[in-house]
């Protein structure tokens, strides 16, 4: 295996191993140090999108269950410094399309864009083909509203 391949696999494994943490979470190492795994954030999320991993018990976000409204209830409920409000963006997550989008098979689908409150999803018109979605990552808040609406799991939210 050449070096560039090893680097690619290494980065891929790292991305897969770190779950999406609740909004306003500290950097992963600080988060894990501070979080007591009490589950208070999970219990206080009105959208029910936070889960506790069976193995580690650390909280993470499951966008299959819904979207984050950035209400901050999880932060307010957190008794530790694991989640802390700050002025910057609540998290570095953005939506990303994968190859499973129905428009790749020339099937018309508008579901994801209809869910996006900040209109981050627009349509790229293609001659004699179905228009396909494009995500403007400057506008995308990573809220995940588009994720559950997609019938083919073609949208993932990633750091």
Q: Which is nearer to ligand SF4, 8 or 123 (CB)?
A: 123
* Min dist. Cβ of residue 152 to ligand SF4 (A): 5
Instruction: List interacting residues with ligand SF4 (CB under 6 A).
Output: 22-23, 45, 47, 49-50, 68-74, 95, 97, 101-103, 109, 111-112, 115-116, 118, 120-121, 133, 135, 140-146, 149-152, 154-155, 157
State the minimum distance, in angstroms, from the CB of residue 30 to ligand SF4.
18
- CA 22 to each of CA 61, 111, 122, 124: distance values in angstroms, whole numbers, following the listed order: 6, 25, 27, 32
Report in angstroms how near the CB of residue 13 gets to ligand SF4 at its nearest: 24
**CA angle at 61 for the pair 57 and 62, rounded to the nearest 5°:** 105
Of 84 and 111, the one with the shorter C-beta distance to ligand SF4 is 111
Nearest distance, CB of residue 127 and ligand SF4, angstroms: 19
Encoding tokens for residue 134?
């494009």
Shortest CB 134 distance to ligand SF4, Å: 10
Q: Nearer Cβ to ligand SF4, position 9 or 110? A: 110
How far apart, in whole angstroms, are the C-alpha atoms of residue 41 and residue 35?
10
Q: Which is nearer to ligand SF4, 82 or 109 (CB)?
A: 109
Partners of 135 in the beta sheet? 121
Distances from the Cα of 34 to the Cα of 51, 82, 88, 94, 126, angstroms: 18, 5, 20, 25, 49
- Other beta carbons within 10 angstroms of residue 73's beta carbon come to 17
Separation between Cα atoms, residue 9 and residue 25, nearest integer Å: 26
- Our CB check for ligand SF4 shows the closer of 32 and 47 to be 47
């Amino acid at each position: 295996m050449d070096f560039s391949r090893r680097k690619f696999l290494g980065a891929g494994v790292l991305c897969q191993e770190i779950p999406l943490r609740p909004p306003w979470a500290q950097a992963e190492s600080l988060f894990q140090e501070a979080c007591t795994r009490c589950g208070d954030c999970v219990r206080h999320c009105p959208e029910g999108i936070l889960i506790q991993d069976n193995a580690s018990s650390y909280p993470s976000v499951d966008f299959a269950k819904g979207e984050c409204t950035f209400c901050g209830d999880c932060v307010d409920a957190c008794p530790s410094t694991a989640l802390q409000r700050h002025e910057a963006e609540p998290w570095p997550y953005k939506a990303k399309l994968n190859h499973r989008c129905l428009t790749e098979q020339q099937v018309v689908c508008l579901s994801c864009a209809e869910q996006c409150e900040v209109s981050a999803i627009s349509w790229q018109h293609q001659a004699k083909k179905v228009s396909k979605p494009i995500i403007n990552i400057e506008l995308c808040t990573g809220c995940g509203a588009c994720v559950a609406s997609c019938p083919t799991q073609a949208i993932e939210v990633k750091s």
